[in-house]
Amino acid sequence: MSNAAVTPPPHIIARKRDGLTLADAEIEAFVRGATDGSWADYQLSAMLMAIYIRGLDPAETVALTRAMMHSGIVADLSAIPARKVDKHSTGGVGDKISLHLAPMIAACGVAVPMISGRGLGHTGGTLDKLEAIPGFRVGVSLAEYQALVARTGCALIGQTPELAPADKKLYSLRDVTATVACRPLICASIMSKKLAEGIDALVLDVKCGGGAFMKTEAEARELAGMMVSIGNAMGKPTRALLTRMDEPLGHAVGNAVEVAESIACLRGAGPADLMEVTLALGVEMLLLAGAARDEAEARARLAAVIADGSALERFRMIVTAQGGDARVVDAPGEVMRPARLLHEVRAAQAGYVQSVAALDVALAALHLGAGRTRAENPVDHAVGFTRLVKTGTRVAVGDVLAVIHANDEANAAQAEAMLQKAIVIGESSPERLALILGRL
């Protein structure tokens, strides 16, 4: 460690440039340089590119994750007696699962300390959805985060400055140096933040398909395997599900509209595909927490907290604790600011829906203002789509394929044209593809 402290950055960069394996101390020096500013941005960028090109072996990736995790404070939730289990998704379209799964798990007696991110590009962000609820605060201090978990059994917040600060710096550089799509860097970024939360175990939802960052099952499986190995190597039991993301989850895409759909899930009225993935992830969380003996018991517990209303009431408690307007639980369409325009997209031909391209739907929502292409861009929480049709649905001419929620007529017209291309209708009923592709 002492040698790495005085080792010049160019020497460490050159070693990775030449394909050599870095010692833990060298990786720690790199991360420390990102945290305290002792490495210049151009040196950090050069190192990121060297890693992108040469890669990191499993031991190096674990070392990078550990160093990033310890670049700030690791939250101490040991005073909370319940097991602490989080869930992380690699990002998809219509993926609002965290909003309703977290209170479901908390209602089962398992603490859920969940630090989430914002949407960027075509994927939606949990924080943006939560901020559609008037008053809901996602930016809290580390001390308040710990208090929220103790009081409500759950915290749904953004990353605090104290947790894994090296990741924020390195990610900002990866974004502008074409080094985002590097699996060791992706794994270290995700896992360092999650492991700094103070969790006991982690469940990963690794998505693949047209609406995911990982397009193929093989790519998703490799990424999932790396993250599971990191979590287990660092003493945190970790499991991953591979899930399909070729069409949006549920019938809603946007921010306020997805919050409303999550509330419907808590009332027992969630779309079948959305609940299938939700329950599969929930089962893994309860099993890792030791809150159920087997899958059947875990599913029964999840069904029970929806049926008796305790999951919905836990969501109300969380919203209240984080400053949100709890009336959203009973009247989401009134409490969250609605869009100015509602426009129905109708089928121009009869037949069966062959596919609903998740990426194209996401880009249409992005055009409305539901997402952002740059981190500093504002988000229009009111816009998006509801009543989005599902693959396999039989439609007649004039049937509604989706309802556009917009604040601008020109944007609504463009979004309709994009949706008409995204939704393919044919004569035959398509094969139903499995949503859960595997488990690691």
**Which residues are catalytically annotated?**
88, 167, 174, 189, 193
Structure tokens at 200: 């006991």
Residue 384 to residue 94: CA distance in whole angstroms: 10
**Contact assessment for residue 153 and residue 82, using Cβ atoms and an 8 Å cutoff:** yes
- In terms of Cα–Cα distance, which of 386, 422, 439 is closest to 210? 422
Contact residues for 413 (Cβ-Cβ < 8 A; gap 6+): none
Structure tokens at 15: 């070693």
Q: What is the DSSP string of 264-321?
A: HHHTT---HHHHHHHHHHHHHHHHHHTS-SSHHHHHHHHHHHHHTSHHHHHHHHHHHH
Residue 188 to residue 195: CA distance in whole angstroms: 10
The strand ranges marked E within 357-422 are 384-386, 394-395, 400-406
The strand ranges marked E within 371-412 are 384-386, 394-395, 400-406
Structure tokens at 387: 């009543």
Amino acid sitting at position 411: N
**Contact assessment for residue 202 and residue 65, using Cβ atoms and an 8 Å cutoff:** no
The total of other beta-carbon atoms located within 10 Å of residue 437's CB is 17
Residue 413 to residue 416: CA distance in whole angstroms: 5
- In terms of Cα–Cα distance, which of 324, 305, 411 is closest to 366? 411
- In terms of Cα–Cα distance, which of 195, 222, 67, 43 is closest to 51? 43
